[in-house]
């Protein structure tokens, strides 16, 4: 059963490992997915940054192109020189803007402003206050840059709105001096968010001064985003971006990468945040919840290998069980049946291992105990008298052939007194159920009678002849008067059943000492006849009455001589001839 145990332990270990693997295996995958989502957001952030750069360059190009317009140039030149009427110049420039860009909103423009070379606003278009002009804005960095000759861009956070700005100088008609500047401002709000989401396939949010000013996710879901970004202001200052940050948004678990807008908006906590979704949970419920019916289809799930593997494991377990348990049990059962049939030869317990081997050894011990007595070895006196030993060293005695030598002398007096008798002896079988003698006759035991004992019955009895063999101590007494079996040794029917090794009931012998003994003698006679026939011996002169009488006489002699209660006889074949053994029974 060693391999069976190992197999069950192995299956348990494999099951535990499989369960652990099933629960743990998704975690690296989820972590990998989170990392991949973070990388996707990183790439999206890089793409967004490049998009902003391209946008800024486009705006600069557009403004620069506006600045090359002749009418605008002449008008601003006149304004810078103070050579015209401001109101006229103002209207001229406004009209020119509207002519060049008929629909500002289509172009994504919020406002266009033209200033003269002192930074004074000459005209505005698109803003709410486009009728106002004349104010100075030379300090605005884009304007100051443009008046120095630079084309540049910036981002502003003004009145709660985020604007991207591009400015360019306006050169004189002769292109030798700067006569003014133009800048355009484009609101960076929902339109930009939608464009980013469309191009980058991520959710986008824009933040200004700790508030989400535009987002592609539902309003209110990103309330924690400004604080989250503020906690990573150092990352933003050094890396110009945050790592992928987890964010709880209701039931959604998000990942956020945020980066600052450039320009002076960066001083106003202006960020754009790209938002992805964290991978699902990895607990068992979440895993099962994510299983789809299609996942379990034949094509998607390795049912065949799984079923084969399962059956293979079951088959291996059954084979091991059969090899280690059932087969040895069958063998042992056959051995026990052999014992029960009267062949009390020793079980070859070497063939059995483990507990069954232990059981076989216990049976052997019981047999030896029964056949040899508690001492487990022959008495020296018995050996001196030439008392033959049974196969296991037990005390059984060969009887001379009944016909010619039935008048054998009494048994050898050399037998020592039997040891104390232990009760609980299995009952001998009733005659009808006795197994056929020849095939199951016990192996040849040392024959005591012919050579060494003058007695017609040297002394012989078969313990538990033909009955069940019990592990309970059985006793065969040597050299003492054997005259009876104790009633308790026979027991009742239930006891007899209980005494069977595998619980099977066998023959139940009703206890009547005389009747039982007569039945035994008749049975021995039948066995003897059978044995002689099997050996081809002549049956002439052999009658049942004489045979039984001889058995009674021998029994009486042995009982008287050894003080035993009774004697059990057994038939076996020795040197091709039927022979009898007598086994004294003390109690």
Q: What is the DSSP string of 28-42?
A: HHHHHHHHHHHHHHH
Beta-bridge mates of residue 241: none
In the complex, the smallest distance separating the C-beta of residue 226 from other proteins, rounded to whole angstroms, is: 16
Answer for the pair 561, 477: CB distance below 8 angstroms, yes or no. Answer: no
* Minimal distance, residue 153 CB to other proteins, in Å: 4
Calpha distance 321→442 (Å, rounded): 32
C-beta neighbour count of 459 within 10 angstroms: 38
Nearer to other proteins, 145 or 335 (CB): 145
Angle made by CA atoms 45, 50, 55, in degrees to the nearest 5: 125
The site for other proteins (CB under 8 A) is made up of: 52-53, 56-57, 60, 64, 119, 135-142, 144-145, 148-155, 157-159, 165, 168-169, 171, 175-178, 262-264, 266-268
- Report the residue number, 159 or 251, with the smaller CB distance to other proteins: 159
For other proteins, give the closer residue by CB, 129 or 310: 129
CB 365 within 8 A of CB 376: no
Dist. CA 182–CA 124, nearest whole Å: 10
d(CA 449, CA 155): 126
Q: State the nearest-atom distance from the C-beta of 149 to other proteins, in Å.
A: 4
For the beta carbon of residue 346, count every other beta carbon within 10 angstroms: 20
Q: What is the β-pairing status of strands 178-187 and 111-116?
A: antiparallel
Phi first, then psi: give them for residue 344, nearest 5 degrees.
-95, 35
CA terminus-to-terminus distance, the chain: 40
Print the SS3 string covering 291-303.
Answer: CCHHHHCCCCCCH
- In whole angstroms, how close is the CB of 59 to other proteins at the nearest point? 9
**Cβ proximity to other proteins, 139 vs 536, nearer residue:** 139
CB of 275 to other proteins, least distance (A): 23
At its nearest, how many Å lie between other proteins and the CB of residue 168?
Answer: 7
Smallest gap from residue 57 Cβ to other proteins (A): 6
Kindly state the smallest distance separating residue 169's Cβ from other proteins, in Å: 5
Helix runs in 209-344, H state only? 225-231, 233-239, 284-289, 303-321, 327-340
Q: Which run of H or of E encompasses 447?
A: none
What's CA 228's distance to the chain center, in Å?
A: 41
Minimum CB separation of residue 187 from other proteins in Å reads 16
Would you say 482 and 567 are in contact if contact means Cβ atoms under 8 Å apart? yes
Measured from the CB atom, the residue of 183 and 434 that comes closer to other proteins is 183
DSSP 455-507: SSS-----TTTTS---SS------SS-BB---HHHH--HHHHHHTSTTS----
d(CA 559, CA 569): 13
Look at strands 211-215 and 245-249 and give their pairing: unpaired
The strand pair at 161-171 and 178-187 is best described as antiparallel
Q: Compute the least distance from the CB of residue 163 to other proteins, in Å.
A: 12
**Closest approach of other proteins to the CB of residue 110, in Å:** 16
Q: Output 268 or 570, the one with its CB closest to other proteins.
A: 268
Task: Rank residues 86 and 150 by Cβ distance to other proteins and give the closer one.
Answer: 150
109/519 with CB nearer other proteins: 109
CB 185 within 8 A of CB 156: yes
Give min distance, CB of 237 to other proteins, in A: 8
Given the complex with other proteins, which of 195 and 533 has the nearer CB atom?
A: 195
* Residue placing its CB nearer to other proteins in the complex, 157 or 279: 157
User: What does the block give as tokens for 505?
Assistant: 């009931």
Locate all alpha helices (DSSP H) within 188-264, ordered by sequence. 190-200, 225-231, 233-239
**Cβ-based nearer residue to other proteins, 154 or 517:** 154
| Helix (H) / strand (E) containing 323 | none
Q: Which is nearer to other proteins, 153 or 527 (CB)?
A: 153
* Least distance from other proteins to the Cβ atom of residue 90, Å: 16
Cβ proximity to other proteins, 115 vs 385, nearer residue: 115
């Amino acid at each position: 059963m060693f391999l069976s145990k190992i197999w069950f332990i192995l299956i348990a270990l494999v099951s535990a490992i499989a369960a652990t693997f099933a629960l743990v295996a998704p975690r690296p995958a989820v972590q990998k997915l989170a990392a991949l989502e973070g990388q996707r957001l990183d790439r999206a952030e890089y793409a967004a940054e490049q998009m902003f750069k391209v946008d800024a360059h486009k705006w600069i190009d557009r403004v620069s192109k506006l600045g090359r317009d002749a009418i605008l140039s002449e008008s601003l030149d006149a304004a810078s020189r103070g050579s015209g009427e401001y109101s006229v110049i103002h209207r001229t420039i406004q009209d020119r803007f509207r002519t060049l860009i008929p629909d500002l909103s289509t172009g994504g423009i919020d406002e266009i402003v033209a200033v003269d070379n002192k930074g004074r606003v000459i005209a505005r278009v698109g803003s709410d206050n486009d009728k106002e002009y004349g104010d100075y804005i030379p300090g605005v960095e884009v304007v100051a840059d443009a008046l120095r000759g630079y084309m540049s861009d910036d981002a502003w956070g003004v009145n709660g709105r985020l604007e991207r700005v591009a400015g360019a100088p306006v050169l004189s008609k002769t292109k030798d001096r700067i006569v003014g500047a133009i800048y355009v401002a484009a609101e960076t709000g929902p339109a930009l968010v939608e464009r980013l989401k469309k191009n980058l396939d991520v959710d986008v949010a824009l933040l200004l001064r700790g508030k989400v000013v535009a987002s592609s996710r539902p309003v209110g879901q990103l309330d924690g985003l400004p604080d989250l970004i503020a906690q990573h202001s150092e990352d933003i200052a050094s890396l110009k971006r945050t790592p992928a940050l987890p964010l709880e948004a209701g039931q959604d678990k998000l990942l956020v990468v945020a980066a600052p807008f450039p320009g002076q908006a960066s001083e106003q906590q202006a960020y754009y945040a790209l938002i992805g979704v964290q991978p699902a949970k990895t607990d068992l419920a979440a895993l099962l919840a994510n299983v789809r019916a299609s996942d379990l289809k034949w094509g998607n799930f390795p049912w065949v290998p799984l079923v084969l593997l399962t059956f293979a494991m079951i088959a291996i377990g059954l084979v091991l069980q059969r090899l280690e348990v059932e087969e040895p049990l069958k063998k042992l059962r056959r051995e026990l049946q052999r014992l029960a049939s009267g062949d009390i030869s020793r079980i070859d317990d070497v063939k059995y291992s483990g507990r069954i081997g232990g059981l076989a050894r216990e049976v052997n011990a019981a047999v030896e105990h029964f056949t040899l007595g508690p001492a487990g070895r022959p008495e020296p006196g018995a050996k001196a008298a030439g008392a033959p030993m049974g196969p296991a060293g037990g005390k059984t005695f060969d009887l001379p052939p009944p016909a010619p030598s039935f008048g054998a002398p009494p048994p050898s007096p050399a037998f020592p007194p039997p040891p104390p008798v232990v009760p609980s002896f299995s009952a001998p079988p009733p005659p009808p159920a006795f197994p056929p003698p020849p095939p199951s006759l016990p192996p040849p035991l040392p024959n005591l009678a012919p050579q060494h004992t003058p007695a017609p019955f040297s002394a012989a009895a078969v313990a538990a002849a033909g009955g069940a063999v019990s592990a309970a101590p059985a006793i065969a007494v040597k050299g003492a008067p054997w005259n009876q079996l104790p009633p308790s040794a026979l027991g009742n029917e239930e006891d007899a059943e209980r005494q069977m090794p595998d619980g099977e009931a066998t023959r139940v012998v009703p206890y009547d000492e005389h009747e039982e003994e007569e039945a035994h003698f008749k049975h021995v006679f039948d066995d003897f006849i059978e044995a002689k026939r099997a050996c081809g011996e002549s049956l002439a002169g052999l009658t049942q009455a004489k045979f039984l009488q001889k058995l009674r006489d021998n029994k009486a002699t042995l009982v008287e001589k050894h003080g035993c209660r009774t004697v059990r006889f057994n038939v076996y074949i020795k040197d091709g001839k039927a022979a009898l053994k007598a086994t004294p029974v003390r109690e």
